[in-house]
Every structure is written in structure tokens, then in C-alpha cells.
Amino acid sequence: MEKQVINAGLLGTGGPINLAVKHGNMIYISGLPPFTPEFTQSMIDARKNGQPLPKFPDMPFEQQVRIVMNNMKKLMEAAGSNMDCLLKVIVWLRDQSQSEIFDRIYREYFTSPATWPARTRMQAGRTPLDMGLEVDAVGYIPQAPKRKTAAKRASAKRGAARNTVRASRKRPTKPR
């Protein structure tokens, strides 16, 4: 079993990380920042040219949450899974007073409360580039139910036929 890098067509930041890796049926998602493709490209360019990283753009917290959650969803789907298969999520908020906004949006990404993953949410002393949040997760890829092979189906049919023959050979009991 080898580790497989999952990027779902998303740009990395040019830093020494992969956005997600899959090993067996497990998926490990790195801390996802609320970076737009344009901002990510500007970070890649700055790193490549040895320049300081650009300032994180001023954007509403709700927009940041949606960027992070949409990217997480893309990564899970690219790995062959879905958001309901997340097992553990860790959320770092720059400002804990925004937790209600985060929770309202977060709930939209799951089919029911029964599918919510275990979660830790905390206020970070300071987030990288002073962005509003960063989220990482661990999930799994659901396994399809095992299908019976043709040989197993034939064996099951033979067994059922034997049971039918045996049942027909039994003598009926006389009522008392």
C-alpha cells in the first residue's frame, strides 16, 4: 500500500506540504487556509522569487469559511469519498467569537448530525498571515459492499437446491 497525493486540482502554496494524502482507505487533509487561487499563485510566485509573502486579502469571514470547506469537499471527493466520511476535524479560529458563523456554514456540508465528525475547535494565538481560520481533517473512503463472485453465487444456488431436495424428501408428519 503506497501513499497517494491528492490535490483535486487545487494549487499548493509552494510550501513543503501536500494538501492531502491517501493511504489505504484513509485520507489525511493538511491545514487548509482560505486562499483563493489568485492569492495562492501570488504566494507561489513570492516563494519562487525569494520575496516576502503577500498580505492576506481582507475578505469576510463567511467567505473564508466557504473557501476552506469547499476545498475540503473537493479533496474528499477527489480521493473517492465525501464529507460524511470525515472522522476528525480540527479548526483553528483567529477569533472565537466567530464560532457561530463557522458552525452555521460547517453544518451545510454534512447530510445529517449523525454524520458529523469528531471535532476540536480552538482559538489560535495567531493564524498564519492573520487569516480567519485554518482547518485540517482525517477521513476515510467507504468500501463498497463485497459482491459475491460467480463461483460463490453458484455454490449458494447449489446449497439452496440441496436444501429444497432434502425438505421435499421428509415424510409429512401425521397430525395427532
Residue 64 lies in a domain: yes
Ranges assigned E (strand) in the chain: 4-6, 20-23, 26-32, 86-93, 118-123, 133-140
- Residue 85's identity, in one-letter code, is C
| Number of structural domains in the chain | 1
Q: Are strands 86-93 and 118-123 parallel, antiparallel or unpaired?
A: parallel
Residue 17 lies in a domain: yes
Residue 152 lies in a domain: no
Q: Report phi then psi at 25, rounded to 5.
A: -105, 15
Residue 176 lies in a domain: no
* pLDDT tens-digit readout, 4-29: 999 999 888 777 889 999 999 999 99
* pLDDT tens-digit readout, 45-75: 999 999 999 999 999 999 999 999 999 999 9
Give pTM, 2 decimals: 0.80
Segments forming the whole domain that contains residue 92: 4-140
On the question of pLDDT at 87 being above 60, the answer is yes
Residues 6+ apart with CB under 8 A from 43: 13, 14, 35, 53, 54
Beta bridge partners of 118: 88
Residue 123 lies in a domain: yes
What local confidence, expressed as pLDDT, does residue 52 receive? 93
> Can you give the CATH number for the domain in which 113 is found?
3.30.1330.40
